[in-house]
Amino acid sequence: MTAAPEQIDVLDEAREQVLERGVGLSEAQVLKVLELPDDRIPELLALAHEVRERWCGPEVEVEGIVSLKTGGCPEDCHFCSQSGQFPSPVRSAWLDVPGLVRAARQTRETGATEFCIVAAVRGPDKRLLSQVRDGIKAIREDGNDIQIACSLGMLTQEQVDELVAMGVHRYNHNLETARSHFPNVVTTHSWEERWDTLKMIRDAGMEVCCGGIIGMGESLAQRAEFAVQLAELEPDEVPLNFLIPNPGTPYENYPVVEGAEALRTVGAFRLALPRTILRFAGGRELTFGDLGAKQGMLGGINAIIVGNYLTNLGRPAQQDLEMLEELSMPIKALSQTL
């Protein structure tokens, strides 16, 4: 006799659907996972880890990130200390080409394979694009073979083509949150504008890196909505951030997502996105501490950023690399095909 649908346990369903067949959970299923009681978290994380090993393999991607242009952004993303619209302490600053080359070299020396050049802008202007072009050229002339990603805001088709011509292999542009919640977080541009940029990137053949931030006042249902909207995009990588309530931003008094809830979120996103690179991004020290970071790595995460995260100080690279060694997780090598 077949059990009534409400009697089927969501983790049993996930085992058959996600682990065996590689099909991500639906929105309703993700919500059920997000509502699991605390005592089922170890079971969830174990399954998420199995899914990650089965569909992505054991390797962990290590990435470095550098800010080419910091602060003074005209947009009003309420979580962001780089917005020029809030009185946060981040000052507007530019990094020069030699600084970029140094940062890329230091990143490569950690064993990282990805180097992401980030700018706090609505979208790039001519000056920014020529700085990126000069920077990439100088990094190559320095003999550095690291793969280069960019995160420069919303793009036009012409700019997408320029980045492809520069050899940028991956582009980061976050949807930040569920479509239904986005207007509460950003009013100066729309979720759809972000989506359009992501489509152009995908169509141009660049890898798509797209994630968001958990803990911005969204409901659990909206977290589930966000997970499946990301899955629909089929991103190569999803950076999962937990809100850092930065001083001066409208979210400065928001509570930090607590450990158990964060781990449930990591597990649920892995089950929604079985094949993607799921990256621990900003906020993990605050949310997890050291112990939780390890739990997350054993619960479906397979990429980390080493060093600083733009405006908030991350842990020293060595500490993360030691954690991977302790967990016997190999670091992904540079792709031979690029």
Binding site for ligand SF4 (CB under 6 A): 73, 75, 77, 80, 82-83, 120, 122, 153
CB closer to ligand SF4, 153 vs 296: 153
CB closer to ligand SF4, 35 vs 125: 125
CB of 234 to ligand SF4, least distance (A): 23
CB closer to ligand SF4, 34 vs 182: 182
CB of 228 to ligand SF4, least distance (A): 23
CB of 122 to ligand SF4, least distance (A): 6
CB closer to ligand SF4, 153 vs 282: 153
CB closer to ligand SF4, 24 vs 153: 153
Written in H, E and C, the secondary structure of the chain is CCCCHHHCCHHHHHHHHHHHCCCCCCHHHHHHHHCCCHHHHHHHHHHHHHHHHHHHCCCEEEEEEEEEEECCECCCCCCCCCECCCCCCCCCEECCHHHHHHHHHHHHHCCCCEEEEEECCCCCCHHHHHHHHHHHHHHHHCCCCCEEEEECCCCCHHHHHHHHHHCCCEEECCCECCCCCHHHHCCCCCHHHHHHHHHHHHHCCCEEECCEEECCCCCHHHHHHHHHHHHHHCCCEEEEEECCCCCCCCCCCCCCCCHHHHHHHHHHHHHHCCCCEEEECCCHHHHHHHHHHHHHHCCCCCEEECCCECCECCCCHHHHHHHHHHCCCCECCCCCCC
CB of 184 to ligand SF4, least distance (A): 14
CB of 188 to ligand SF4, least distance (A): 8
